[in-house]
Chains A and B, each alone.
Chain A
């Protein structure tokens, strides 16, 4: 019973949401918010491997997301659609559905390989210097994409909507929603298995004392390689899903701002807490989307009490005042994040009776 409670719950949730989406009870906007929650969960929990469990300070997660997004999109567009650059489709559109999970995984593998760009310097570098290297890696990736004009350069790349429509033509279901559910669950599951095994705990040992880890038989270089590649691979998966949800990507959306969002989510949730990452990803996405409505409401409220000059209106740009403000307050009053380095079951031990997650 205990063993199956989480999978059952998740399957019911996925099934329920897909059903609601299928009968158009929830509109496209809510669907996209749910999908962004999924993507943010993948991003924050995978980033937590490096910044939380391994205790490095990396800040170029969006770069790997870009690699995954571009590789899977190009692959799908080149194989299944009529494109100016890649020419006629190679495979019939009806195969798009079967191929889609592979394209996401290939995107992830490509991102994992790009992760080497950060993993190899991390053997000898730590702390601030590694942070600089990761920012550089992020810039290298985005400026490389900008300079390849055949995939659109700075103008961006599109055509992924065709793939999504092709999948819906085969079986009429909200496919992107389903894939986001599948990959989010898979990702959290794999991370959980990784960090609870003695093998994966090697990276926690590196966090706490790298010299002791190396001398006590942990192959630190290998563990760093695995951790960086695993983390950036999952970021690639998130990127691949992101690209297909939006149907359009450009290098600008994978810049340092996106990496910062990932950082905020990790520190909001708590370093080294998987449930913290999941919770913070949900809260953060809801907060960003909520501000879309809160800011206009604040605007009219402030005008009503004549606190704002009539000619000035609060715009959505204020979002980037409120979110950093939240981070400042968080660091002041609860620097360890929502969960610290504990899991949900450590805080509420009674929950252990109801589920088991490993």
Chain B
């Protein structure tokens, strides 16, 4: 039996009522009489659909990704200043490579997104005493990926670092500019792999702090 006939039978509607409901949308065309005619099973199904539609929409991951806007992708220098793991996280990775830690380092918090700090060393110490250091690329980006086939951390080109173990939170982090001294982040990273999840913009606000800067905060 075609699906529309099965649906009409399930809703217990006459042919004319069915056509009427199709003209002015299924739900809106229900008259008091047609709703009253619904068998219990159909009513339960309708309420089930309503309850699902009330709670399910775009997933948080998809919504976050959409918030990042359009930009050319495909190389390690793209989208500086954005939360990398939105597209490169373990649970949701439409961007391909999965990172455990990634972000962008700036010299000053007032730097526009295109001027990250190149050649900075981003040093990590995790709760299992693993130490590793990533080197930022021309845009200030760095990204850390787990590769269990390695025996030691391996710095690759363009800010990419591979490490042989899953880092254990909490993680302490510090940044050293070429020829400079290390500046440590005051607090530890407890679960978020993207710097920009907490660090974005030139100024702090109630729910975030400014982008990761090395020399100074924006005036």
Same complex for A and B? Answer no
